[in-house]
Amino acid sequence: MIKREELIAMRAIALCFKPFLKPEEACIYTNLGRTQFVKKCEAFGVYKNNNGYYKREEIDKMLAGEDISLKEPVIRTIKKT
C-alpha cells in the first residue's frame, strides 16, 4: 500500500514535465485505479514502451478522447512456455 506522503510526492512528480510515466505515476496522473487505467489504455491503444513506461503525450490524447494514430503497427507477442 502506498503511504499518503508517497502518493503526494508521486502526484507532484507525475504532474511535472516528465515525457514518460511509470505505471503507478500514470494511474495517479489519470486519477484512475489500476484496472480502470489498463482497460482504458487497451481501448485507446496506449501501451508501455520496452522500458515499461507510458508516453505522457499518448495518455493526454487518451484523456482528451482523441484517436491515437500509430506510426508503426504494434506487434504483441505471446511468450509460449
pLDDT surpassing 90 at residue 65: no
Q: What beta strand segments (E) does the chain contain?
A: 20-21, 54-55
How is domain 4-64 classified at the architecture level of CATH? Answer: Orthogonal Bundle (1.10)
pLDDT band at 78 (very low <50, low <70, confident <90, very high): low
| Per-residue model confidence as pLDDT tens digits over 4-54 | 888 878 777 767 778 999 898 898 888 899 999 999 999 998 999 999 999
Q: Give the C-alpha separation, 69 to 45, whole Å.
A: 9
pLDDT surpassing 60 at residue 81: no
Q: In the chain, where are the structural domains located?
A: 4-64
Q: Report the SS3 class of residue 81.
A: coil
Q: What are the grid coordinates assigned to 51, written together? A: 522500458
Predicted TM-score (pTM) of the model is 0.67
Q: What is the pLDDT of residue 79?
A: 56
Q: What is the pLDDT of residue 53?
A: 94
